[in-house]
Structure formats: C-alpha cells, structure tokens
Amino acid sequence: MNSRNSRFSHDTASQSTDISGAVVLVEFAGLVRRQLRKVATGALLLGAGAFLFAITRPRAYTSSVKFLLQAPKMPAGVPSLAAQLGLSLPTSDPGLSPAFFSEMIRSRAILSALADTVFEYRTSSGAKVRATLAEVYRVVKKDSAIRRDKAIERLQDAVSVRTSLNSGIISYSVVAPAADLAPRIASMLLDELNRFNTQRRQSQAAAERRFTEKRLGEVGVELREAEGALEEFLARNRVINSPQLLFAQDRLRREVELKRTLYGSVAQSHEQAKIEEVRDTPQITVIQSPEIPSQPDSRMLFGKTLAAAVFGAMIGLMLGYMRERLEQVTSRSIRETPVALPEDVKLPIG
C-alpha cells in the first residue's frame, strides 16, 4: 500500500513538473508574440551593426611556423664525474621543454626586439611601406616608451601558440594587416628564439667551463699529492714483505688511480664545456617555415552577424518584458489607489 502511494505521488509530481514546463513555454511564446516588433528591431539593428563593422575592418593575413626542439647531448664524462662527486643530475632541462618555448614566444624578452625593428612590406594596394610595429598597429601615443609597450601588447595579441603534447611540435601563428608582413614577423620571432636559445646555452657552457677549470686545478693538486705519497712510501719501503705494508701500498695505489680517473673526467668535461661555449648551432628544427598567405583571413561575416542578431533579439525581448511589467505595476497601483472626495460632497444614501 505504501509503495502504491509513493508511486502515485511520484507520478503526480512528474505530471505537475511537465505541466509547469508547458505553462512556462506557453507564456514565453506569448511574450515573444507580443514583443515581436522589439525583438525584430533589436536583431536587425545589432545584426546590421555587426555586419557593417566586420565588413569595414581591414583584412588580416596569417602566417604559421612549426618547429621541434632537439634534446641537447650531455658530455660523456659528466655523468661519471657527477657520480664520483656524489651529485645527481636532472633527467631533463626545464628550459628546453616545449612548454617553456611556448611561453617564451609571446614573452617581452622576445617581442621587445621586434618592437624596434623597421619592417618593409607592401600593402594590399601594392604600395611599399617602411614602418615600425607601433605604426603598423596605429598606436597613437606621444610618449615613445608607452607607444613601444602598446605595440608589444598588440603583437602579443597577434601571436597565438599551440603545443602538441604527443609529438612535442610547437606551432605559432602571426596575424598582420599585410600579406608579406606576417611571414616577416614570424621569421623574426624564430630568429629571436634561436638567438635566445644560443645565448642561454653558451652562458651555461661558460659557467660549466669556469667550474670545471677550477675543479681541474683542484683535482690536479690532489693527484700530485696522492702520487707524492705513493712515491714517498715506495722510497721508504724498498722491500715490502709484511701484510701491513702491502695493505698500505694497495690503498695508496687505489687513491692514485681514483684521482687519475677523476682528473681525466674533469679534463674531458672541461674541453666539452669549452666547445659548447663557442657552439652556435641552433637546437630548433623547423618543420614548417613561414610563408606568404595566398588569401586573407575569413571575416566570419555570417557567424558574427548571426550572433549579434541573436543578442539583439534577446535585448529587445528583455526591454519589452520590462516595459510590460512596468505597465502592469502602474495600472495595478492606479486601480488600488482610493479616490479622495471633497469634504462638502455627500454621497447619496439609499
């Protein structure tokens, strides 16, 4: 009995919900029908405005680049040297990850070099132009520093970056108002990335060279001291016929061999660091070079116009609903307000 009552209550609640939803839909349809003129006016005005705004904007061109990072090779003697010194080496360099380069492409450290460059390109009409980024993006500021900062911000908005987690390929695109300007900016970005990466690698190699150079001198002193101790021991003990002397000789020989191995590893690492300090080979493999786009980007007129028209219809419907509610409240207040009669007026009785 209880289960039957609960099932009946559930069915009743579901029917009530369906009826409430149907009532809401009917009321909404009635509101749209009553405010159809305002809905159509809002959709027409905003749709036409969005269409005119999009059609009058200057055309834009996009050029894309794809590249892959090359993993740096660790010098052969570094792992053994680190093991002998009791150090642990990182498995990867965070500064050479795709995520790091994706951030660097749009960073001020890279884009600031482009802000001071004068670009030569041709407009859509064929006229040859020489202009900086501030002039390209029509940044009008009297202060040169502010004008430069605004140009960098505009360039940041014009550059988009994507990274493939599976392949590690980094892609970036540059949007510019001229067909041959977009690949020029994209190419300069790639050059700045290579320059930054080379300087960073050479700076690290210079620090490693200074460290290994200092360490090479220290290990050389330790090696000479170990060899001197072994030489002095052999000079004092020309005949070694006791277990204690044999043990001491083996210990001194092991110390000399260890210092020789360590000295060789440090010397190899030192030479490798000297090579890396002057190496200027780029570690970026370009998969897709920047090219001049054959046609401008789509203005997306239909999508922008449709979105604006829908938004305008919603605004018109909302304004119509607010006006309707205001009229209802005003009418109700007028009906409920009592009419005050003059004191000398008497109402007839009976």
3-state secondary structure of 90: coil
Smallest CA-to-CA distance from 266 within 215, 221, 218 is with 215
Kindly report, residue by residue over 194-206, the tens digit of the pLDDT: 888 888 887 888 8
Per the CB < 8 A criterion, the answer to whether 84 and 301 are in contact is no
Smallest CA-to-CA distance from 172 within 97, 64, 98 is with 64
What pTM did the predictor assign? Answer: 0.61
Residue, of 341 and 43, whose pLDDT is higher: 43
Smallest CA-to-CA distance from 205 within 275, 280, 267, 268 is with 275
Smallest CA-to-CA distance from 208 within 164, 148, 273 is with 273
Mean pLDDT of 178-190: 90
Mean pLDDT of 29-46: 77
Q: β-strand 61-69 against 284-288: which pairing, if any?
A: antiparallel
Q: How far out from the chain centre does Cα 51 lie?
A: 31
Residue 12 binned pLDDT confidence (cut-offs 50, 70, 90): low
d(CA 199, CA 192): 10
Residue, of 21 and 121, whose pLDDT is higher: 121
Residue 303 binned pLDDT confidence (cut-offs 50, 70, 90): confident
All residues at 6 or more sequence positions from 216 whose CB lies less than 8 Å from its CB, including other chains: 263, 266, 267, 270
Write down the pLDDT at residue 136. 85
d(CA 167, CA 150): 35
Residue 172 binned pLDDT confidence (cut-offs 50, 70, 90): very high
| Residue 224 CA neighbour count, 13 Å, CB half | 5
d(CA 117, CA 187): 13
Write down the pLDDT at residue 342. 57
Query: Residue 33: enclosing H or E segment and its boundaries?
Result: helix 2-34
Question: How many helical (H) and strand (E) elements, i.e. helices and strands, does the chain have?
Answer: 10, 6
Write down the pLDDT at residue 13. 53
Residue, of 241 and 2, whose pLDDT is higher: 241
Kindly report, residue by residue over 58-110, the tens digit of the pLDDT: 778 889 999 888 765 555 555 555 555 555 544 455 556 788 888 888 888 88
Tell me: pLDDT of 211 over 60: yes
Write down the pLDDT at residue 8. 46
Mean pLDDT of 230-251: 83
d(CA 197, CA 68): 13
Residue, of 297 and 213, whose pLDDT is higher: 213
The Cα diameter of the chain in Å comes to 153
Tell me: pLDDT of 155 over 60: yes
Write down the pLDDT at residue 343. 58
Mean pLDDT of 111-138: 84
Write down the pLDDT at residue 344. 58
Per the CB < 8 A criterion, the answer to whether 316 and 35 are in contact is yes
Kindly report, residue by residue over 245-292, the tens digit of the pLDDT: 888 888 988 988 998 888 888 888 888 888 777 776 667 888 888 888
The tokens 């140009």 sit on which residue? 151
Token pair for 176: 């510019």
Write down the pLDDT at residue 91. 47
Write down the pLDDT at residue 11. 54
